[in-house]
Structure 1
Amino acid sequence: MKSIRVIMLLVSTLIVAVSMSAWSQPGQTASAPASATGASTMAASGAGSPANGKKANRTLRRKVYAAIGKHKEISAGNISVIAKDGAVTLQGTVTDASQIGQVAEIAKGVPGVTSVINKLTVQKPFGDM
């Protein structure tokens, strides 16, 4: 019984020690102010840029969705847009073969899009095998 308590005490002490030495994530405030060298290292490594990159990617993806949505003849419900650093990938299905190129041209016209990878296919109607 005493050995179990000792083990539990050691494990809980280890958990507390590890949690106290954990680093704060970018964008979170730390309880103690960062040293000048730590702050300059973080700024030099660009640790804050991935969050800005993700935000820019989400914004670009939304702009492409909005541009496609302006064209009522295109059913955008089955189209997936992935944006990464200006490169846009279109995946999913459209109802007509002519819409494949049309959706790609719409995406290319969105400001911030540097390239478009078109993986759209034509949706087969039910019953066709």
Structure 2
Amino acid sequence: MNVFLWILQGLLAAAFLAGGTLKATQPKEKLVANFSWVDDFSPAMVKFVGITQVAGALGLVLPALTGIAVILTPLAAVGLALTMVLAGIYHFRKGEYSSLPVNAVLFVLAAIIAWGRFGPYAF
């Protein structure tokens, strides 16, 4: 199960690192083509979302790899799960139902990591 959790951590970290890096580094106008929700937020908020996603991705992997503050790994998973809950609520309220499965899958992956790393497969 530990290997399975590591694989999930790597996949989830890669997904959030890629998406977060785009949001943190690209101008808002360029992001509109891929992320319609950015029109509803300020450029600073879009950058903030990107930075938090990058931080969460790093938090999924780095503490466990280094053995320093390993409690941050499940906390990062909880934070990313909460991010997906909020994203799901936003997309539901906007009627963007096609985005909900992606939010749900990312939420489930983050929740499994949080459960495993807080519980029976902690570091």
Q: Give the structure-1-normalised TM-score.
A: 0.26
Q: Give the structure-2-normalised TM-score.
A: 0.27
- Structure ranking higher in helix proportion: 2
- Structure ranking higher in strand proportion: 1
Larger Rg belongs to: 1
